[in-house]
Structures are given as structure tokens and as C-alpha cells.
Amino acid sequence: MRNLFFYIVLFFANFTYAQSFDVLFIGNSYTYYNNLPEMISNIANDLGDTVNYDQNTPGGTSLYAHSQNQTTINKINQQNWDFVVLQDQSQRPSLSPSYVAASVYPYATQLVNLINSNYICSEPVFYMTWGRKYGDQTNCQSYPPVCTFLGMQERLRDSYLTMGLDNNASVSPVGIAFKNSISLDSTIDLYTSDNSHPSIYGSYLAACTFYSTIFKKSSVGCSYKPNAINQSDALFLQQVASSTVLDSMFVWNVFQAKFDFNQNGNVFDFINKSSNFENCIWDFGDGNQSTDFNPTHTYLQNGVYDVILTIQTNSGCLSEVYSLQVNVNSTQINEYQENKKIIKSFNILGNQINENFKGFIIEIDSKGKSGKKIYLE
């Protein structure tokens, strides 16, 4: 099965420009083991990017404990972070929905509020951890869903995605990368002997997953790897991490601009597939724009147009652009152009204007149809 994966996996093209981010890691031993932040930094350096990091990761610490921890609070406030990674104690988010609602979610929100209060442009990232190798035997009797790896992983997935969506934050799906890796090749042991903490393989898989989450790039082809991991296994883990993140950016609520469209002649229905954004603006390439979520636009001239979607989040601090070309070659336009004639034009205040007016214009044609245009100098 693993060999098949090498053939069907999607290889994602990396951006050609270098990026540098300041990242704070708030967590516990799952982050501390094998120095995960340094591993992420090494992957980034090898691929031409930079991660400057700090961390507060005492063993067993929960989000609740971090919300009360002065060291954590001080580190959040010490500078303007690009990303702040939040990781709860390994069992707590996998327990019953009522427990998580009372004992996990409020403190996730409290920490996100602290992050936003320090720097509104910071992007919180929830670190979705993995189920224990044989489930959580400590809590199995009182809460059977966590008795197996898959059951525990499903609960962790649900809880971390809820934290991400409720707090307009991204999620790094490390636990799902674990699940995918085990499904494809269970001979690579992602756990230490306690069946809970990550082995060097598990930490490397987590690091590759974080690289793709933060930079929105693939780690496939990265030459950095820990000495204990051979080249074939490193490539496999890179592929698993990259496809887990980049195939499902919308699911993980990662800030991303993306859209598709349906075409019917000269009428286009645009479908916004962006995630974790606050507002958007569409440029249809013909002088018209829209701030609708899923706009419909009618082109009045045949041609090839560059449609550009710009999204923003974190009060406008973060912005991303996505563009596609559309080809308009419709007989409907030719028929309409032959028969229509503009008979009246109005400005935005409803006052009739002459043909030399520059700005936003509403036009009424001889067929009684109205249209909006922007005429610039």
C-alpha cells in the first residue's frame, strides 16, 4: 500500500519566495519531545524559509494551566508574534463533549483573546494531537469512545476543529497525519515505548505538518531529516504531512484564498472556497467589483478576463490573493450588443449624468435593463 501512495500522492509546488515568521509554541511534552520547534525551523531553513521561535512547554500542562501561567502570559506579550501555537494536554480534548465544553473550550478562547489583545495580527494555531497507540486506557472504562486509537483520534479531531472554528483560528492536523501514516505504513512507529509520546518519526511527521500549515507549502524534497531517519522514510513522512494539510486547507480552517466558478454563456456564478477570512473583494477584470461572498457576474464583452479574489482576516492584517482566467465567448453578448442602446445614465445619487462622467455609473438601455459600471480617468 505504501508503494502505491508514492505514485498517487500530489506533489505541491512551493512558492518561489522566502518567508520568515515568528512563532510561539504553548504546549507540553508533545511539543517538547525531540524539540519540535527546532525541527520545524530546520525544515524551513532547508526550504529557504525562516522560523524564529520561542516556547513554554512544561510536561502535562493543559490550556487551563497555561491560561493561569504567568510565564505563558509574559511570552505571549513579549513581542508581535506571527503565529501562536496552542496545544492542550493529550487526553483532555478527547473526553466527553460535555467535559470538553466546560474544561477545554473556555480556556482555548481565553488564550486566543490574550493573543489578540497583544497583537491583533497574530494567527492562533491549534495543535491537533494524536490518539494514543492503543487508546486511552486510563479513561476507557468511564468513556468508551477513547478505548481505541481511532476513537480517541476522532474525538481529538472534533474538539480541535471546534476550537479552530469557534476562535477564527487555524488547526494543524498532526493527529490526522498520524492516522494517515499508520494507515499507509504501520511499520514506521510514530510512538515511544509509552505508546503516547512521539518517537523521532512522530516528531518529524508533526514538524512537516506544521511547516505546511504555517507556510502553506509542501515539505516534499526537504533534505533536512534527523539522523535516525533514513531518506526513504523521511520522504514518505513529508508526503503524508503535505497531502494531509494541503489537500484539505478548508477543513483545517487555514487562512487561504480560493474560488471556482460555473459558466452559462456570459453569466458566471463564482463559488468562494476560501477559509478563515473576514471579508473579500472580487475584481472581475472588466472594471467591475463585488464584495459578495458568492457573486454572480454578467460580462458585456467577449474576451479573456483575469478574475482576482482578495480576502482579509485579523482585522485586515492578513491578506491573500487568488486569481483565475475566464474566457467569455458568447453569442448572447453579440446579439445583445447589436440591439441595445444606452438611453440614460445616473450617478450613485440618482442624478442623470452625461457621457463624460467618470466614476460609478448606473446605465439604463433601450431594453429597460440596468447595469453598473465604473469609468476611470
**Which range has the worst mean pLDDT, 9-18, 271-280, 281-290?**
9-18
The pLDDT value given to residue 299: 96
| 191 within 8 A of 129, measured Cβ to Cβ | no
Query: Between these two residues, 352 and 183, which has the higher pLDDT value?
Result: 183
Q: Which residues contact 305 (CB under 8 A, 6 or more apart)?
A: 284, 285, 286, 299, 325, 326, 328
Residues in Cβ contact with 31 at an 8 Å cutoff, skipping those fewer than 6 apart: 25, 37, 55, 57, 85, 87, 127
**How many domains does the chain fold into?**
3
pLDDT tens digits for range 260-275: 999 999 999 999 999 9
Question: What cell numbers appear for 168 in the block?
Answer: 477564527
173 and 301 share one domain: no
Residue indicated by cell numbers 515505548: 193
- For residues 259 and 196, state if they share a domain: no
Predicted pLDDT of residue 17: 75
C-alpha to C-alpha distance for 220 and 238, rounded to whole angstroms: 5
At residue 342, the pLDDT reads: 58
pLDDT at site 367: 53
DSSP 140-177: TTT-GGGGSHHHHHHHHHHHHHHHHHHTT-EEE-HHHH
* HSE, side-chain direction, 13 A CA sphere, residue 260: 2
Q: Is the same domain home to 139 and 44?
A: yes
**Confidence label for 368 from pLDDT (cuts 50, 70 and 90):** low
Q: Are 199 and 229 contained in the same domain?
A: yes
| Same domain for 242 and 356 | no
Give yes or no: residues 130 and 259 share one domain.
no
**pLDDT, averaged across the chain:** 90
* Residue range 96-130, pLDDT digits in tens: 999 999 999 999 999 999 999 999 999 999 999 99
Using one digit for the tens of pLDDT, what is the confidence trace for 239-253? 999 999 999 999 999
* 190 and 46 together in one domain: yes
User: What residue has cell string 467569455?
Assistant: 328
**What is the arithmetic mean of pLDDT over 84-103?**
98
Question: Is residue 12's pLDDT more than 50?
Answer: no
In this structure, what CATH number is given to the domain that contains residue 261?
A: 2.60.40.10
174 and 318 share a domain? Answer: no
The CATH number of the domain holding residue 187 is 3.40.50.1110
Q: Are 154 and 130 in contact (CB under 8 A)?
A: no
Domain boundary among 246, 272, 304: 246
Beta strands in the chain (DSSP E): 20-26, 50-56, 83-86, 123-127, 170-172, 259-264, 267-272, 279-283, 289-290, 296-298, 303-313, 318-328, 342-346, 359-365, 370-375
Do 230 and 333 fall within a single domain?
no
What are the start-end ranges of the H helices in 185-230?
200-215
pLDDT, one tens digit per residue, over 357-366 is: 655 556 665 5
The answer to whether residues 241 and 352 belong to one domain is: no
- Rounded average pLDDT over 39-59: 98
348 shares a domain with 334: no
Q: Which domain holds residue 284?
A: 255-338
Same domain, 42 and 159: yes
Helix (H, G, I), strand (E, B) or coil at 29: helix
